[in-house]
Amino acid sequence: MLRFAHLLDRLLYAPQRNTKLKLMADYFRSAPDPDRGIALAALAGALEVKSAKPSMIRALVMQRVDPELFGWSYDFVGDLAETTALIWPERPTNRAAPALGEIPSELDGLSAAAASEVIESWLDTLDATGRWALLKLVTGGMRVGVSARLAKTALAEAFGREVDEIEEIWHGLEPPYGELFDWLEGQSDQPDMSQRAVFRPLMLANPLEEGDLARLDLSQYVAEWKWDGIRVQIASRGGEVRLYSRTGDDISAAFPDIVDLVSFEGVLDGELLVQRDGEVAPFNDLQQRLNRKRVTRRMLQDHPAHIRLYDILFDGDEDLRSLPFTERRGRLERFLEREQPERTDLSEIVNFEDLEALEALRDACRGEQLEGLMLKRRDSVYIAGRPKGPWFKWKRDALTLDTVVMYAQRGHGKRSSFYSDFTFGAWREGEGGPELVPVGKAYSGFTDEELKRLDKWVRDNTVQRYGPVREVAHGLVVEVAFDSVHRSSRHKSGVAMRFPRFHRIRWDKPVEEADRLESLEKLIV
């Protein structure tokens, strides 16, 4: 338990992805079974452990601590699990500290009262960091900045494997993953998942960059619309049906309206959308349905999900990934005719004469829930990852707006000494004349050299400090790029941008010439 506690503690503070990977890989290589399997499950959000409610933790600690002292401490620390871990007055105990691997099974099946007793006795055996980790574990939610994908990547690095090899079997495995570690350590073959609805790593497209078009032989490519939804994979095998996100997260539970209707066997690739009466709804509607553990009936009714299919990886248990795209496309069309799956349709092939026609199609995309075009080589086999060449995404041009920098904040990790996170505003008519209102935040899109200059500018033009935030003089215009803009009650300006980033820094431009809020409002879809 203590090793895992120290791992969590360091992950919490590690700002860099590489640091997190190294910390986890070190742990996975050296921790014993089944501890490391339970740790992997916890980090990947796959651990089912009898959960303790905050009220139970509070009740436990209040039995042992003076209420006034606890109150002052909690005010100071600000987190119940952490305060409890730090303040816990240990009583002498003969018990040994619990091994991480035995915690879920020991709690399994206990009543709340019995679980509370067990947790109390464990708290006496651990130090503050151990107690903190235990309480995180049993109250659910590690919140140490690690995604399932990152945990799997660390595991792959620890044993010199590709993360996709792990992804291919992941969803057929259960904690504490004994067979997974056996395979990684070379003691057995890769577990056989051919009869399970596991995730098959996706083939991804590269952005089409300037110059690519001139080199491409367009006659070798097929075009499709790029829809503004999220990429998903639907896998069905032996009666098991799962819906996966692009990164292999199992999102089945949030989309019963898709999953429950599947009667086919196979693995399909497509775009998840919200669609009403045959019309694709804006991305914002889909967003309402994402990141939910459960979904209400009303949500199912008002935001019906739909998948626009564009590829087939398996027909039944027949692996089609080594076929060229055009053949897979034919198989997909026949599959749909045969199976008639509900809540799906086929992504249409967009015909074009030449480059000029293609450009016109792409430029016309805005406002129709279309993000642009996809170009796929006719002979491309389905390869996991992002191979350069076979598939391109050609997004419509971003929207841009000239804004004024208003606040800056220091970044994290390598950027912790730089002011690298910027809040910018647009002009509107205030009571006392023109005033700036914040419209967004951005922290990317500039080079390292530009960042140095921005950092210096912020330090030289600070007018006020609020903790880590500096308010700066209104003296710098930044042209920001963003994908779209929509109404938002959460922002003072009433609008929110999607994926804003620096496009150009206009060191030359007078702030009075920056854009007005009305210009942004006109771009709302």
Active site residues: 226
Decide if residue 17 touches another protein (CB under 8 A). no
Asked whether 116 and 54 are in contact (CB, 8 A), the reply is no
**Least distance to another protein, CB of residue 445, Å:** 22
- For another protein, the closer CB: 39 or 41: 39
Among 28, 40, 49, 73, indicate the residue that binds another protein (CB under 8 A).
73
Each residue 442-471 as x (binds another protein by CB under 8 A) or -, in order, gives -------------------------xx---
Decide if residue 420 touches another protein (CB under 8 A). no
Token pair, residue 519, equals 């210009």
Cβ contacts of residue 31 below 8 Å, gap of 6+? 3, 4, 39
Decide if residue 15 touches another protein (CB under 8 A). yes
Decide if residue 72 touches another protein (CB under 8 A). yes
- Which range touches another protein (CB under 8 A), out of 68-76, 91-99, 199-207, 215-223? 68-76
Among 55, 63, 78, 489, indicate the residue that binds another protein (CB under 8 A).
78
CA distance 417 to 265: 53
Decide if residue 33 touches another protein (CB under 8 A). no
Decide if residue 12 touches another protein (CB under 8 A). yes
Decide if residue 65 touches another protein (CB under 8 A). yes
Decide if residue 153 touches another protein (CB under 8 A). no
* Contacts (CB under 8 A) with another protein, residues 111-140: 127-128
CA distance 282 to 367: 9
**Least distance to another protein, CB of residue 74, Å:** 9
Give the count of residues interacting with another protein (CB under 8 A): 35
Among 26, 106, 471, 521, indicate the residue that binds another protein (CB under 8 A).
26
CA distance 465 to 470: 5
Asked whether 373 and 361 are in contact (CB, 8 A), the reply is yes
Cα Rg of the chain, angstroms? 27
Phi, psi of 498 (to 5 degrees): -100, 125
Strand 305-315, strand 279-280: pairing: unpaired
Among 59, 69, 261, 524, indicate the residue that binds another protein (CB under 8 A).
69
**Least distance to another protein, CB of residue 319, Å:** 40
Helix pair 148-158, 35-43: axis angle to 10 deg: 140
Decide if residue 80 touches another protein (CB under 8 A). no
CA distance 347 to 371: 14
| Among 251, 236, 271, CA closest to 393 | 271
Decide if residue 146 touches another protein (CB under 8 A). no
CA distance 250 to 241: 10
Instruction: Return the ∠ at Cα 316 (arms to 310 and 322), rounded to 5°.
Output: 60
* Contacts (CB under 8 A) with another protein, residues 244-303: none
Decide if residue 97 touches another protein (CB under 8 A). no
Among 1, 4, 5, 14, indicate the residue that binds another protein (CB under 8 A).
14
- The beta strands (E) that lie in 196-239 are given as 206-207, 221-227, 230-237
Asked whether 346 and 332 are in contact (CB, 8 A), the reply is yes
Instruction: Return the ∠ at Cα 505 (arms to 499 and 510), rounded to 5°.
Output: 120
- Give residues in contact with another protein (CB under 8 A): 6, 10, 12-15, 19, 22-23, 26, 65-66, 68-70, 72-73, 76-79, 82-83, 86-87, 89, 127-128, 410, 412, 414, 416-417, 467-468
